[in-house]
């Protein structure tokens, strides 16, 4: 049985995807998103700065707001966490 070598790409934090793929194209500020999601601005700030991960609660709120699935957000977080292990 062959061993699987870990992918050498750097981990992509879901905060980067939130910032670059969802917020910037819409001209959406951290404060505006926090208000829309009814969460403290610090929570969005820490996610966007890649200091905090995406929780189930955040995934549900982001999914509702952006019309995605919660699984997409939790999957991005899981992928990031796994890549950090290698």
> pTM for the full model?
0.86
How far is residue 66's CA from residue 26's CA, in Å, rounded to a whole number?
A: 11
Question: To the nearest 10°, the Cα dihedral for 20, 23, 25, 27?
Answer: -130
CATH 3.90.1150.10 fits 14-81, yes or no: no
Angle, CA of 45, 37 and 44, to the nearest 5°: 10
Sign of the alpha-carbon dihedral angle for 71, 21, 19, 11: positive
CA-based radius of gyration for the chain: 14
Per-residue pLDDT of the chain (86 residues; tens, 9 = 90+): 554 455 567 789 999 999 999 999 999 999 999 999 999 999 999 999 999 999 999 999 999 999 999 999 999 999 999 888 86
Domain ranges (residues) in the chain: 14-81
């Amino acid at each position: 049985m062959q061993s699987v070598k870990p992918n050498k790409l750097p981990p992509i934090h879901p905060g980067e995807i939130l910032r670059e793929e969802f917020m910037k194209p819409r001209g959406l500020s951290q404060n505006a998103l926090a208000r829309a999601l009814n969460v403290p601005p610090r929570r969005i700030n820490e996610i966007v700065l890649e200091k905090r991960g995406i929780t189930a609660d955040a995934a549900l709120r982001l999914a509702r707001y952006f019309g995605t699935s919660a699984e997409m957000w939790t999957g991005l977080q899981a992928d990031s966490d796994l890549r950090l292990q290698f």
